[in-house]
Structure 1
Amino acid sequence: MVRKIQMGEGRAGVDAVRSGSAGRAETATAVRYLLQLLEERAPGKSVEVRVPPFGAVQVVQGPQHTRGTPPNVIETDAETWVALATGALGWDEAVASGAVSVSGTRADISPLIPLRP
Structure 2
Amino acid sequence: MAIKRRVDETAGRSAVREWAQTEPGQAKISRPVLAMAVRYLLEELASRAEGNSVEVRVPPFGVTQCIAGPRHTRGTPPNVVEMPAELWLLLATGRTYWSEAQQTGQLHASGLRADLSAHLPLIEYP
TM-score by length of 1: 0.93
Distance (Å, rounded) in 2 between the aligned partners of 1:7 and 1:44: 21
Q: Structure 2: state its 5+ residue gaps.
A: none
Post-superposition offset of 1:82:
0.5
Post-superposition offset of 1:5:
1.9
Structure with larger Rg: 2
Task: Tell me which residue corresponds to 1:95.
Answer: 102
Distance (Å, rounded) in 2 between the aligned partners of 1:97 and 1:106: 20
Which structure features the higher share of helix residues? 1
| 1:81 and 2:88 aligned | yes
Distance (Å, rounded) in 2 between the aligned partners of 1:63 and 1:108: 16
> Match for 1:107: what amino acid?
A
Task: Tell me which residue corresponds to 2:59.
Answer: 52
Aligned residue for 2:52, secondary structure, equals: strand
> Match for 1:98: what amino acid?
G
Show structure 1 runs of 4+ deviating over 3 A. Answer: none
Which structure features the higher share of strand residues? 1
- Say if 1:46 and 1:59, in contact at 8 Å, map to a contact too: yes
Post-superposition offset of 1:69:
0.5
